């Protein structure tokens, strides 16, 4: 059946409005992704190479110890996000929710790190943790820690990653807090009143009213943390460039340094990018499987 | 309602058109773009004045000079070259990096740029590269100034401790021990960016095994293994400030300028930084050559150095004459005299050097006595190997690799790159 003229005009208008966005999306997202996949099977590098078809980049990546080490660091960052950032954000959200008039002030304060560019955050925290002239070590020294046993922070093989993860958490806790706070504020007060009538204390209120009501915002936060941890790049690049000696290397920093900035191996970098995508999809898919079925139904509703 | 829709459609159209148009500037003069790395202070002014002189000679074009910091510049240029929109004139360090670009036919040969006899011959060597179409080396850039890595020291601290600049490696170790006993950091190092630590490796390898192992690409030669192990020795003797692998060059030089560290092994560019950041420290600053290593085959007068700034022209430039003129002006006599006054070592022989400071003069003396220059490995090597070189040296400093392990990894990477 031919569409009525009015309907067809609506369709054209819809495409005219959506078209530019779709075009830009295709041009800047879909085409580059396809390009990266194609490139990853070639051997393009700054020093020449060519379009010969090969699986060599994938074989090399999967055989590179640094790839697996970087992947491990990504999972550590993921674990820290889920086990430290989100619980801390929930704690802060509960604290801020119980503030009266000061609520918006505190909310803005905790959210502030998200408004500052990562470059500034990275530089300032690197100065704060400077082992020689940084205030952290000055403080430790004035507390009586000997000069020879002061921690080396970003220069240390085992402390560099925790230090960077601390700064990343400092930045993102406020972000998760805002999401969770919005969830907290939307819990109807009647539920608490009913619970109290039934004789529930503070802990029971939290355990049997707040937590179940918060499952959706918590899951949104968790999902964002999962995706963010797998593709994380900026603060690590600014603070350590993946060093010292690979101690803070993430998949994204490894890809950037080998593929572009220092190594100039475009195809190998593209293969790493594809692997990073595959790993991220797998992790996100795994995380989604952990969502109970009835909750999915609730989200749909 | 119709008007609203029409306006929305128009807005969408304008968005598309403006995005399509933002790549070019319509109607204006043709531009000649220069990308350099002199982002601040007097060195930036030298570039600006040279650009102004060329602009005056060529009013028909608009010269657009942009300065980037060192590390972002490398990334930017790489992206611009890959995307086919490179600047007309760009900074280069010569050596392997230049050869890569010449090999990819991105650089204009300058062999018809006229008389080059006023340039320092060794500096010109850094600008030679071999195009894919020929077997001969061709001049593909012109040098503005060269650099050399030496030990910079705080004369005041050395005097109060009664120390002399060491001439041998053993003496260096003794000096470090005495400074440490006096409660000072002997040597400041900021190795987060990986290249500052490489100077130790290059010097030790060159002193121990001379040039041949590197030239022949035998990266697991005994001299490389020994150089790596000596780095670990220095780290174990705690001659460096704490946490050096997490500190950047900016922070490490502050420590040296501030007087809490007595020495630092760094390129001559530290003079420009001293001038800009700690002019009161400059008179206290002096330098000595990297000491002789007793058991080594290498000659003690060999200096590790390179070209600090050269300028090359893109093969794709549409303003060839202006671009070449710009390169010649940036490396010309007037610019060279101005470079010398900012603490740089100009790459010309026709420069009047009246009124330069003590540290620069000492450096000039070391350079005059130098029998050869070993280029920085990361600039001599193709970028894939350069990366492995920097990674393994940082691992040596971190103590996560032995000299033999680092050498083996370098050799394996070289084999793969063949």
Are B192 and A152 inside 8 Å of each other by CB? no
Are A157 and B399 inside 8 Å of each other by CB? yes
To the nearest whole Å, the CA of A75 is away from the closest chain B CA by: 22
Are A244 and B397 inside 8 Å of each other by CB? yes
Arithmetic mean of pLDDT, B83-93? 92
Are A46 and B5 inside 8 Å of each other by CB? no
To the nearest whole Å, the CA of B254 is away from the closest chain A CA by: 10
- Which one, of B135, B13, B408, B30, lies nearest residue A15 by Cα? B13
Using only the alpha carbons of chain B, give its radius of gyration: 24
- Which one, of B182, B187, B178, lies nearest residue B261 by Cα? B187
Q: Which member of A127, A132, A264 has the closest CB to residue B241?
A: A132
- Chain-centre distance for alpha carbon A123: 19
Q: How many CB atoms lie within 10 A of CB A190?
A: 8
Using only the alpha carbons of chain A, give its radius of gyration: 24
Helix A215-230 with A266-289: angle, nearest 10 deg: 160
Domains of chain A, residue spans: 65-260+276-300
DSSP classification of residue B30 = P
Arithmetic mean of pLDDT, B385-410? 94
Is the CB of B387 inside 8 Å of chain A's CB atoms?
yes
Chain B residues in contact with A262 (beta carbon < 8 A): 74, 383, 386-387, 390
Are B254 and A133 inside 8 Å of each other by CB? yes
Chain A residues in contact with B254 (beta carbon < 8 A): 133
Chain B residues in contact with A243 (beta carbon < 8 A): 192, 194, 245-246, 394
To the nearest whole Å, the CA of A275 is away from the closest chain B CA by: 20
Report yes or no: A177 and A103 within 8 Å, Cβ to Cβ.
no
| DSSP E strand boundaries for B166-276 | 185-187, 261-267
Chain B residues in contact with A130 (beta carbon < 8 A): 243, 247, 251
Question: pLDDT digits over A242-261, tens only?
Answer: 879 899 999 999 999 888 87
First to last CA, chain A: 34
Q: How many CB atoms lie within 10 A of CB B212?
A: 12
To the nearest whole Å, the CA of A5 is away from the closest chain B CA by: 16
The per-residue DSSP string of A6-57 comes to: HHHHHHHHHHHHHHHHHHHHIIIIIHHHHHHHHHHTSEEETTEEE----SHH
* The pLDDT of residue B207: 95
| DSSP E strand boundaries for B1-95 | 31-36, 62-67, 89-92
Q: Domains of chain B (ranges plus CATH)?
A: 31-146+307-356 (3.40.190.10), 147-304+375-417 (3.40.190.10)
- Which one, of B216, B205, B265, B276, lies nearest residue B241 by Cα? B265
User: What's the CATH number of domain A65-260+276-300, 2.40.110.10, 1.10.3720.10, 2.30.30.60, 1.20.120.720?
Assistant: 1.10.3720.10
Report yes or no: B385 and B394 within 8 Å, Cβ to Cβ.
no
Is the CB of B400 inside 8 Å of chain A's CB atoms?
yes
Q: Residue B16 above 60 pLDDT?
A: no
Residues of chain A with pLDDT under 50: 294, 296-301
Is the CB of B394 inside 8 Å of chain A's CB atoms?
yes
* The pLDDT of residue A47: 66
Within 8 A by CB and 6+ apart from B223, the residues are: B205, B208, B209, B210, B213, B296, B297
Helix A215-230 with A65-80: angle, nearest 10 deg: 160
Q: For an interface test with A, which of B247, B255, B382, B388 has the most A Cβ atoms less than 10 Å from its Cβ?
A: B247
Arithmetic mean of pLDDT, B200-223? 93
* The pLDDT of residue A44: 84
What are φ and ψ of residue B268, in 5° steps?
-65, -15
* ipTM, two decimals: 0.80
Strand-pair category, A43-45 with A48-50: antiparallel
To the nearest whole Å, the CA of B102 is away from the closest chain A CA by: 10
| DSSP E strand boundaries for A118-267 | none
First to last CA, chain B: 68
What span, in angstroms and rounded, lies between the C-alpha atoms of A169 and B316? 46
Question: pLDDT digits over B232-288, tens only?
Answer: 999 999 999 988 999 999 889 999 999 999 999 999 989 888 988 999 999 999 999
- Comparing alpha-carbon positions, the chain A residue that sits nearest to B79 is A260
Is the CB of B71 inside 8 Å of chain A's CB atoms?
yes
């Amino acid at each position: 059946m031919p569409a009525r003229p009015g309907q067809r005009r609506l369709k054209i208008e819809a495409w005219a409005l959506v078209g530019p966005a779709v075009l830009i999306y295709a041009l800047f997202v879909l085409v580059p992704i396809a390009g990266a996949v194609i490139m990853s099977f070639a051997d393009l590098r700054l020093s020449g190479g060519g379009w010969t078809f090969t699986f060599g980049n994938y074989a090399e990546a999967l055989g590179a110890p640094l790839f697996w080490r970087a992947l491990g660091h990504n999972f550590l960052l993921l674990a820290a996000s889920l086990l430290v950032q989100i619980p801390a954000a929930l704690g802060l959200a509960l604290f801020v929710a119980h503030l009266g008039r000061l609520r918006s002030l505190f909310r803005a304060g905790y959210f502030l790190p998200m408004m500052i560019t990562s470059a500034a955050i990275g530089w300032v925290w690197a100065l704060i943790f400077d082992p020689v002239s940084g205030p952290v070590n000055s403080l430790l020294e004035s507390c009586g820690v000997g000069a020879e046993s002061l921690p080396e922070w970003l220069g240390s093989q085992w402390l560099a990653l925790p230090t960077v993860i601390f700064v990343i958490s400092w930045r993102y806790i406020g972000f998760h807090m805002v999401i969770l706070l919005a969830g907290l504020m939307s819990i109807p007060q009647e539920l608490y009143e009913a619970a109290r009538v039934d004789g529930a204390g503070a802990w029971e209120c939290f355990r049997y009213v707040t937590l179940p009501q918060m499952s959706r915002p918590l899951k949104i936060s968790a999902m964002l943390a999962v995706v963010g941890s797998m593709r994380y790049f900026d603060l690590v690049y600014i603070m350590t460039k993946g060093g010292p000696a690979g101690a803070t290397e993430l998949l994204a920093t490894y890809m950037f340094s080998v593929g572009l900035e220092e190594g100039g191996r475009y195809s190998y970098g593209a293969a790493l990018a594809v692997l990073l995508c595959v790993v991220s999809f797998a992790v996100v898919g795994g995380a989604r499987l952990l969502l109970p079925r009835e909750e999915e139904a609730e989200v749909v509703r | 309602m119709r008007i609203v829709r029409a306006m929305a459609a128009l807005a969408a159209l304008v968005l598309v058109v403006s995005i399509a148009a933002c790549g070019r500037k319509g109607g204006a003069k043709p531009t000649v773009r220069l990308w350099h790395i002199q982002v601040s202070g007097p060195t930036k002014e030298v570039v600006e004045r040279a650009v102004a002189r060329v602009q005056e000679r060529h009013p028909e074009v608009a010269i657009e000079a942009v300065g980037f910091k060192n590390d972002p510049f490398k990334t930017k240029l790489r992206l611009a070259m890959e995307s086919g929109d490179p600047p007309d004139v760009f900074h280069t360090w010569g050596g392997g990096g230049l050869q890569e670009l010449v090999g990819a036919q991105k650089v204009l040969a300058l062999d018809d740029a006229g008389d080059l006899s006023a340039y320092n011959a060794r500096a010109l060597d850094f600008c030679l590269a071999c195009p894919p179409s020929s077997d001969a080396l061709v001049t593909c850039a012109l040098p503005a100034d060269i650099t050399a890595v030496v030990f910079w020291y705080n004369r005041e601290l050395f005097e109060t401790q009664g120390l002399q600049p060491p001439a041998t490696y053993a003496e260096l170790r003794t000096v470090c021990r005495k400074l440490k006993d006096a409660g000072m950091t002997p040597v400041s190092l900021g190795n987060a960016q990986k290249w500052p630590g490489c100077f130790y490796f290059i010097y030790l390898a060159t002193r121990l095994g001379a040039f041949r192992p590197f030239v022949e690409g035998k990266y697991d030669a005994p001299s490389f293994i020994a150089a790596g192990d000596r780095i670990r020795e220095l780290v174990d003797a705690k001659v460096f400030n704490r946490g050096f692998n997490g500190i950047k060059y900016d922070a490490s030089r502050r420590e040296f300028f501030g007087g809490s560290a007595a020495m630092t092994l760094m390129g001559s560019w530290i003079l420009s930084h001293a001038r800009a950041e700690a002019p009161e420290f400059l008179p206290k600053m002096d330098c000595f050559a990297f000491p002789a290593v007793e058991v080594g085959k290498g000659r003690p007068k060999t200096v590790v150095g390179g070209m600090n700034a050269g300028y090359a022209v893109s093969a794709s430039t549409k303003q060839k004459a202006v671009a070449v003129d710009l390169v010649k002006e940036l490396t010309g006599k007037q610019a060279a005299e101005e470079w010398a006054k900012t603490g740089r070592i100009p790459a010309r022989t026709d420069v009047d050097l009246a009124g330069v400071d003590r540290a620069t003069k000492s450096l000039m003396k070391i350079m005059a006595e130098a029998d050869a220059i070993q280029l920085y490995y990361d600039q001599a090597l193709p970028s894939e190997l350069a990366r492995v070189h920097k990674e393994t040296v940082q691992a040596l400093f971190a103590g996560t690799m032995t000299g033999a392990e680092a050498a083996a990894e370098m050799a394996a990477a070289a084999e793969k790159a063949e």
